[in-house]
Structure 1
Amino acid sequence: MASIYLIIQTKKSPAAIYLRLRDGRNLDIKSKTNFHIDPINWDDKEQRPTKKALKDINIANLNTDLATLKNDLLKEYNSSKGKKIIDAQWLKDFINPKQESIKHTNKLVDYIDTFIEFKKSDVKNSTVKKCNVIKNLLLRYQEHTNSVLNIRDIDATFKLDFEKYCIKVGYAPNTTSRNIRFIKTFCRHAKANGVETHYQLDSIKAKYHKVDNIYLDEKEIEAIENIKNNDLTEGLENARDWLLISCFCGQRVSDFLRFDKSMIRYEKNKSGDLKPLIEFTQVKTGKIMTIPLHSKIIEILKKYDGDFPRKISDQRYNDHIKNVCEKAKINKPTPGVKFDKLTKKKVKKDYEKWELVSSHIGRRSFATNNYGKIPTSFLMYITGHTTEAMFLTYIGKSNKDIAMELTNYF
């Protein structure tokens, strides 16, 4: 019976991880993989990263990749035995298969097109657009540095230099972090297709940065509710109602602006009372969602004979709700960032709060205003955040904020 071993052969870091395949006395072959690890994080006996090291998400991902590699090798060996010559070259070809159909796989910008081709049937159009945006950013970066990026060039030095460039040309820190995570995804995909990557790839970290989270508090939402209809045009009144709906449903603009009465159904709760629910498929994630409709939303629907307000484009909605919030006198000086059309740069300073309002504000307002009132797990279900850490970052809660809330229990 075949046995597969994972070994390292040096105490120097980074150490290459080798695969050894044995089957009785007739087969004993070994080849270097594309994976590396610091020897202090390796358990020779268990042939895997140490339990302590697995607390690091990058090493945990490495452990998963190694387990997958062993499993795939065993399947390939069993299907090839007796049909192919099983030797060291066979093992090398398994680890780094020839990719004749992929052109220029060593160049990062070119590989993005390959990545899109592989993934286009599995991801949303918005993801493909992001990939192309990052591709164009990398082209500008290459022009700036007078260089051509190979996939194996993506290391800690690249990360630092790329961050400096992005800050210089006006990208927000979190946008830059997101782009770096995408670049790592491209490289990992290339690695799975046999393209050489830098040993530092998995150790590159792109953290979220705390930002000024703009949201509407409950008094401001009430002020929006209380705007007299005579003070609003028909278009602004329609946008105002959509804004209120977003503040009470917690969904992305790509989802709630598609709501219509056909999505609503009534179900009995434990008390036997009929409660309105709305079911829809999220555009970004493709996830089917069922959430309760807030009583405030039901009141708005009565204005429209049980339906939602008139449909409106994302851009028109974004423009209108600024005017709505200005009408509601939401003008408290608030730090924020706006794009200056004259200088073509983003300017950070204090603005009247209504100027900083955008189509995303309803979702964040819902999450922030209900934090501590509704169990966090329920809020995360509605907003779609997969981890509590992501959710707390989203609403701008720091460790100090959480610690102060915990004092209520001590």
Structure 2
Amino acid sequence: MATIKLIIRRNKGSVNQDGSTLILLRYTHKGQTKYFSTGLSVFPKDWDARNQRIKKSNRGFTTKNMVLTKFKQKFDDIVHKAIYDEIEPTGSFVRAEYEIEQNKAEGKQGKQGKSIHHLTWEHFKNDFVDESRRTKKPSTIRSYNDFIHLLDLFKKSRGIKELIWQSFTLDFYYDFMKFHIEERGASNNTFGKMIKTLKTFLNAATERGFNKCLDFRSKRFKVFQEEVSHIYLNEDEIQCLLDLKLENDTKLREIRDLFVIACYTGVRFGDFKQINEQNIRDGRLRIKTHKTGQYVVIPFHPIVKNIIANYAGKLPNSYCNMIVNRELKIIGKMAGFSKTIIKSRMHGVRRVEQTFEKWELLSTHCARRSFATNLYKQGFPTVSIMKITGHRSEKTFMRYIKVTEDEVANMLEEHWNSFQMTG
């Protein structure tokens, strides 16, 4: 009876300089034993001998275990076929069949092909997402799945059955850009997010030895990122919201009040759901933000204190983003936010402009931009605002600052006037 087992050798001669050791497949039949290299190495402490698997303590264990499973399955298939054909599956026979299968696989791929212990792109991308679920946030996993879905649409549009590692060249980059921007109407920023995700996948695959095509690291394989003209509400506009008489509509009133609280705390709407009485102490909000995991302490503005007092010391009810964004536009229209806003976006080399009334652009994230921009205009230190918003990078933070050219001019005039008065 043949036995197939994955093993590692712990003797001194089998250990690499870094302390790792090669994972071998041991095939035994009627006392004859043959060893086959899987091409993967592991540190002995990360090897589960009983289950013939790499432990979770090893980075990339899910992907590597899949490689091992596929490798072992290859030998199972050889043995089962031999038995079916009434051939004795000796060690020499199995080795010969294995080498034939390996040569066929390498011949199909050519000089840049993969050996059978390497995963294809199509297998790797799905496995990488599954592995990422253990360490990444749900929003990141959604972005990974969105990218894979878009890539599937691209393949279908181009009549491509499957992509391989050598597919991701500069030619692919420009064709993918044409598909997403010209054919689907995406903006440069949206395309840039997809390329950023692709680079995440390819970097991981390259580090693990599956990908050898490095075109994606070229400077021309770039991630587009342009400044977007988002809106914010100034202090007077926030007061207009507070002046609305919404006593007869509980939902609108709660959404308005929660939005105003966000305008004076900078809290993401997604964080409101986790806030309870324990987070509100001594007139301050103390929370660990969901997105970045940073702990922030935010003192309450007098307006926020008044709102919370109206809800018996608690926050208003929180609603899902879709409902809030829909109702905010109704509230903004009631408040008379009819100023014309021109939004400009780049689609490839083509600039596209759209015209809106300001209320049409109101959304939950507008509150966070309003908080940062209004404090910035008041001269509050940027570093201190970042401590409250939880931003680690000033470059990222400055995208939240939506000061117009006229407002910058006014700030400069006030600075000069105050300087003359003190002089």
Shorter-normalised TM range: 0.5 to 0.7
1:319 is aligned, of 314, 326, 349, to 326
Deviation of 1:114 (Å): 1.2
Deviation of 1:240 (Å): 0.7
Distance of aligned partners of 1:124 and 1:379 in 2 relative to their CA distance in 1, 3 Å threshold: same
2:66 is aligned, of 83, 96, 101, to 101
1:205 is aligned, of 219, 222, 236, to 222
Deviation of 1:337 (Å): 8.5
Task: Describe the superposition over 1:361-403 as per-residue Cα deviations: whole angstroms up to 9, x where unpaired.
Answer: 101111122224221112222222221111123335799x999
Which structure 1 residue ranges, 5 or more long, are not aligned?
1-74, 85-89, 267-275, 339-346
In the TM superposition, what are the counterparts of 1:58-137 in structure 2 within 5 Å? 76-79=16-19, 99=64, 101-102=66-67, 107-137=120-150
Deviation of 1:120 (Å): 1.4
Distance in 2 (CA, whole Å) between partners of 1:335 and 1:311 is 31
Q: Which residue matches 2:254?
A: 238
1:289 is aligned, of 264, 280, 296, to 296
Task: Describe the superposition over 1:50-71 as per-residue Cα deviations: whole angstroms up to 9, x where unpaired.
Answer: xxxxxxxxxxxxxxxxxxxxxx
Deviation of 1:137 (Å): 0.6
Higher-Rg structure is 2
1:330 is aligned, of 329, 337, 341, to 337
Deviation of 1:254 (Å): 0.5
Q: Does 1:370 align with 2:375?
A: yes
Distance in 2 (CA, whole Å) between partners of 1:154 and 1:122 is 26
Q: Which residue matches 1:352?
A: 357
Deviation of 1:255 (Å): 0.8
Q: Which residue matches 1:225?
A: 242
Any conservation in 1 of the 2:272–2:318 contact (CA below 8 Å)? no
Deviation of 1:295 (Å): 2.3
| Partner SS for 1:79 | coil
In the TM superposition, what are the counterparts of 1:98-177 in structure 2 within 5 Å? 99=64, 101-102=66-67, 107-147=120-160, 148-167=162-181, 168-177=183-192
Distance in 2 (CA, whole Å) between partners of 1:80 and 1:285 is 35
Any conservation in 2 of the 1:321–1:357 contact (CA below 8 Å)? yes
Distance of aligned partners of 1:335 and 1:306 in 2 relative to their CA distance in 1, 3 Å threshold: same
Task: Describe the superposition over 1:10-42 as per-residue Cα deviations: whole angstroms up to 9, x where unpaired.
Answer: xxxxxxxxxxxxxxxxxxxxxxxxxxxxxxxxx
Task: Describe the superposition over 1:186-245 as per-residue Cα deviations: whole angstroms up to 9, x where unpaired.
Answer: 111111211124223223321311111121122211211111235x62211111101101
1:308 is aligned, of 305, 315, 318, to 315
Q: Does 1:195 align with 2:210?
A: yes
| Partner SS for 2:395 | helix
Q: Which residue matches 2:27?
A: none
Distance in 2 (CA, whole Å) between partners of 1:240 and 1:367 is 19
1:179 is aligned, of 172, 194, 204, to 194
Deviation of 1:256 (Å): 2.6
Distance in 2 (CA, whole Å) between partners of 1:382 and 1:242 is 18
Deviation of 1:77 (Å): 0.7
Distance of aligned partners of 1:337 and 1:107 in 2 relative to their CA distance in 1, 3 Å threshold: farther
Q: Which residue matches 1:34?
A: none
Distance in 1 (CA, whole Å) between partners of 2:277 and 2:65 is 52
Distance in 2 (CA, whole Å) between partners of 1:285 and 1:320 is 27
Task: Describe the superposition over 1:108-140 as per-residue Cα deviations: whole angstroms up to 9, x where unpaired.
Answer: 443221112222111112211211111111100
Any conservation in 2 of the 1:392–1:398 contact (CA below 8 Å)? no
Any conservation in 1 of the 2:256–2:328 contact (CA below 8 Å)? yes
Q: Does 1:247 align with 2:248?
A: no
Distance of aligned partners of 1:366 and 1:93 in 2 relative to their CA distance in 1, 3 Å threshold: same
| Partner SS for 1:77 | coil
Query: Counterpart amino acid of 1:254?
Result: G
Any conservation in 2 of the 1:112–1:131 contact (CA below 8 Å)? no
Distance of aligned partners of 1:145 and 1:318 in 2 relative to their CA distance in 1, 3 Å threshold: same
Which structure 2 residue ranges, 5 or more long, are not aligned?
1-14, 25-36, 43-59, 71-115, 346-351
Distance of aligned partners of 1:315 and 1:394 in 2 relative to their CA distance in 1, 3 Å threshold: same
Distance in 2 (CA, whole Å) between partners of 1:404 and 1:154 is 50
Q: Kindly, what percent of the aligned residue pairs are identical?
A: 29
| Partner SS for 1:279 | strand
Deviation of 1:404 (Å): 11
Q: How many residues align?
A: 311
Distance of aligned partners of 1:78 and 1:214 in 2 relative to their CA distance in 1, 3 Å threshold: closer
1:389 is aligned, of 384, 395, 414, to 395
TM-score normalised over the length of structure 2: 0.65
| Partner SS for 2:201 | helix
TM-score normalised over the length of structure 1: 0.66
Any conservation in 2 of the 1:141–1:165 contact (CA below 8 Å)? yes
Residue range with higher mean Cα deviation, 325-334 or 188-197: 188-197
Any conservation in 1 of the 2:246–2:252 contact (CA below 8 Å)? no
Distance of aligned partners of 1:240 and 1:398 in 2 relative to their CA distance in 1, 3 Å threshold: closer
Any conservation in 2 of the 1:242–1:257 contact (CA below 8 Å)? no
Any conservation in 1 of the 2:232–2:402 contact (CA below 8 Å)? no
Distance in 2 (CA, whole Å) between partners of 1:185 and 1:78 is 26
Q: Which residue matches 1:380?
A: 386
Query: Counterpart amino acid of 2:66?
Result: S
Distance in 2 (CA, whole Å) between partners of 1:389 and 1:180 is 20
Any conservation in 2 of the 1:336–1:356 contact (CA below 8 Å)? no
Task: Describe the superposition over 1:344-365 as per-residue Cα deviations: whole angstroms up to 9, x where unpaired.
Answer: xxx9521111111112110111
